[in-house]
Amino acid sequence: MSNRKTSKALRFWQLLMLAALFVFWHVATDPTLIPPLYFDDPNKAAFFFGRPLEVLDRVWSWFSSGSIYRHLWVTLVETVLAFAIGTASGLAVGLWLALSATAAALFDPYIKAFNSMPRVILAPIFGVWFGLGMASKVALGVTLVFFIVFFNVYQGVREVSHTVLANARMLGANDRQLLRHVYIPSAMSWVFASLHNSVGLAFVGAVVGEYLGSSEGVGYLILQAEGTFDINSVFAGILVLTAFALLLDWMVTAVERRLMVWQPRSGETERI
């Protein structure tokens, strides 16, 4: 009961902070409420920062007319595909290199080189290779997700307890059984722990790819609004993306609550 009251109180203060932010935004961009502070012309504040009531009205018109749903669906599909492909490839390559010292030593400089490369610069290249459709956005998202999953899997497999491995071999486990019952569960626990970052990066890849060149998606809406200096639509798109990202984060949290029970606690494997 005490935890529930604390959670409700925390939620109340979070909503209060959000309301205060919108009130400040409204007051700071309305020339009739306060004298000009930073800009000589009070209307410049609304031009650069928009007006929250008009932003919310733009969001409402998008959803009431249904024009936003197609763009949200495209962004969602790109995010899910990038997350799934990036996670699967990162898991496979991470397992392979973690279990093969020779391959790890051979590919180590190339992995580090690709990881240090700013992936955003690949977006124009993917646009040339795959066109301005969904494939180029998925490819960009995969490059973002792959490395975080790869390094988590690689580290998770390398840190498997030698005691657990020795006990499994004493019980007659062969290499395939070790992979299935020891290495993969250990790697998956690290993948589940990085779900938030992986989904977030997949989402970023999809939106950035849409922003740099596309014909649909929420990033495309923001790009079109910037091209016409429609600052209210820009902030409306940012608001929709923020709410969409929070929804994805909530979904990941729900998945984590079911899957993180498989993650060994600190020091648990050593006590086996």
Does 93 lie in the same domain as 58?
A: yes
Please list, residue by residue across 110-119, b when 16 or more beta carbons sit within 10 angstroms of its beta carbon and e when fewer do.
Answer: ebeeeeeeeb
Question: Quick one: 234 exposed, middle or buried, by C-beta within 10 A (0-12, 13-18, 19+)?
Answer: buried
Cα Rg, the chain, nearest whole Å: 24
Q: Which amino acid is at 272?
A: I
Does 117 lie in the same domain as 23?
A: no
Does 11 lie in the same domain as 26?
A: yes
Count of domains for the chain = 2
Contacts for 229 with CB less than 8 Å, ≥ 6 apart: none
Q: Which amino acid is at 49?
A: F
Does 197 lie in the same domain as 64?
A: yes
Q: Which domain holds residue 209?
A: 54-271
Does 74 lie in the same domain as 2?
A: no
Does 143 lie in the same domain as 69?
A: yes
The structure's pTM equals 0.75
Does 37 lie in the same domain as 60?
A: no
pLDDT at 85: 92
Does 157 lie in the same domain as 68?
A: yes
Q: In angstroms, what CA-CA distances link 217 with 211, 213, 223?
A: 9, 10, 10
CATH number of the domain bearing residue 233? 1.10.3720.10
- Cα dihedral: 66, 67, 69, 70 (round 10): 140
Does 160 lie in the same domain as 90?
A: yes
Contacts for 153 with CB less than 8 Å, ≥ 6 apart: 90, 91, 94, 95, 98, 187, 190, 191
Question: Quick one: 83 exposed, middle or buried, by C-beta within 10 A (0-12, 13-18, 19+)?
Answer: buried
Q: Which amino acid is at 60?
A: W
* Dihedral sign (CA 64, 66, 67, 68): positive
Does 83 lie in the same domain as 37?
A: no
Does 37 lie in the same domain as 136?
A: no
Does 186 lie in the same domain as 173?
A: yes
Contacts for 111 with CB less than 8 Å, ≥ 6 apart: 97, 150
Domain end position, chosen among 9, 34, 49:
49
Give every residue of the chain whose pLDDT is below 50, as ranges: 266-272
Alpha helices in the chain (DSSP H): 2-28, 43-49, 52-65, 67-99, 101-116, 123-130, 134-158, 162-170, 175-178, 184-193, 195-212, 218-227, 231-259, 268-271
pLDDT at 46: 62
Q: In angstroms, what CA-CA distances link 72 with 45, 124, 241, 243?
A: 29, 22, 9, 11
Closest CA to 223 of 148, 123, 89: 123
